């Protein structure tokens, strides 16, 4: 009689380039075993997978060990979001594991124990905001800086307090919690139209 298969230890590679950074974390079980966040206004396309490999090597984890990929889907920088989402989809397809999209605002809220609002600088005197009122979660939206909606609790992120976890760590832990659920492939979360036409070397169009 064949021995029962030994359950695979849950391992998540998570990354985010939706803002001016390249952030990566590796989560094994309930422990972050490697992480890095590098300030970066541009160049994420060249740096992302290299940094992922560096963190995997530091953690002693191979891509074949992974059980899920977590990726930040924005809102944020258009090009940065496309880079991460494309990379997550490609890795997930090649490895035969799920890719889970996590919004930047959810990542900010992770670890908060009370109602709050989370905000990200959208530039041009605008902010992306999502309000988390206990069990009620409002959809993320774009506001003028002088049109902040009324909410209970603290403001986390732009103009407020720092989040409980760095972005890649939060994405990794949210991914770990959701990897056994049925979820659509990650897709960019855009809350406003692009500022300009794509550059000639823009990343490929992401299909639904």
Q: With cut-offs at 50, 70 and 90, classify the pLDDT of residue 53.
A: very high
- Domain assignment present for 38: yes
- Domain assignment present for 173: yes
- Domain assignment present for 34: yes
- Domain assignment present for 144: no
Write the pLDDT tens digit of every residue in 185-202: 999 999 976 554 444 444
Tell me: pLDDT of 37 over 70.
Answer: yes
- Domain assignment present for 48: yes
pTM of the full structure: 0.89
Q: With cut-offs at 50, 70 and 90, classify the pLDDT of residue 81.
A: very high
- Residue 196: its pLDDT value, please? 45
Task: Answer yes or no: are the C-beta atoms of 88 and 185 closer than 8 Å.
Answer: no
CA nearest 150: which of 121, 127, 117, 104?
A: 117
CA nearest 181: which of 103, 99, 117, 64?
A: 99
- Domain assignment present for 202: no
- Domain assignment present for 25: yes
Q: How far apart are CA 75 and CA 73, in angstroms?
A: 7
Task: Indicate the number of domains in the chain.
Answer: 1
Which CATH number do you get for residue 28? 3.30.420.40
Q: At which residue do the structure tokens 């300009």 appear?
A: 196
* Domain assignment of residue 75, given as a range: 11-111+163-178
- Domain assignment present for 120: no
Looking at 30-34, 111-115, 117-121, 153-157, which range is the least confident one?
Answer: 111-115
- In the chain, the percentage of residues whose pLDDT exceeds 70 is 89
How far is the CA of 39 from the CAs of 10, 19, 114, 120, in angstroms? 29, 9, 30, 16
């Amino acid at each position: 009689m064949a021995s029962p298969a030994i359950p695979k230890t849950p391992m998540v590679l998570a990354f985010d380039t939706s803002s001016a950074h390249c952030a990566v974390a590796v989560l094994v079980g309930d422990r972050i075993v490697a992480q890095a966040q590098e300030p970066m206004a541009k160049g994420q396309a060249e740096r992302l997978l290299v940094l992922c490999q560096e963190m995997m090597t530091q953690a002693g984890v191979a891509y074949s060990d992974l059980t899920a990929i977590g990726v930040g889907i924005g809102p944020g920088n258009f090009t940065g979001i496309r880079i991460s989402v494309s990379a997550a989809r490609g890795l997930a397809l090649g490895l035969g594991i799920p890719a889970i999209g996590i919004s930047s605002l959810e990542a900010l809220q992770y670890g908060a124990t009370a109602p709050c609002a989370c905000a990200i600088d959208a530039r041009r005197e605008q902010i992306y905001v999502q309000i988390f009122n206990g069990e009620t979660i409002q959809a993320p939206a774009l506001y003028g800086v002088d049109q902040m909606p009324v909410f209970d609790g603290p403001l986390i992120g732009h103009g407020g307090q720092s989040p409980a976890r760095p972005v890649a760590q939060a994405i990794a832990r949210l991914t770990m919690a959701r990897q056994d659920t049925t979820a659509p492939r990650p897709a960019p979360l855009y809350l406003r139209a692009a500022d300009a036409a794509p550059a000639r070397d823009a990343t490929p169009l992401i299909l639904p």
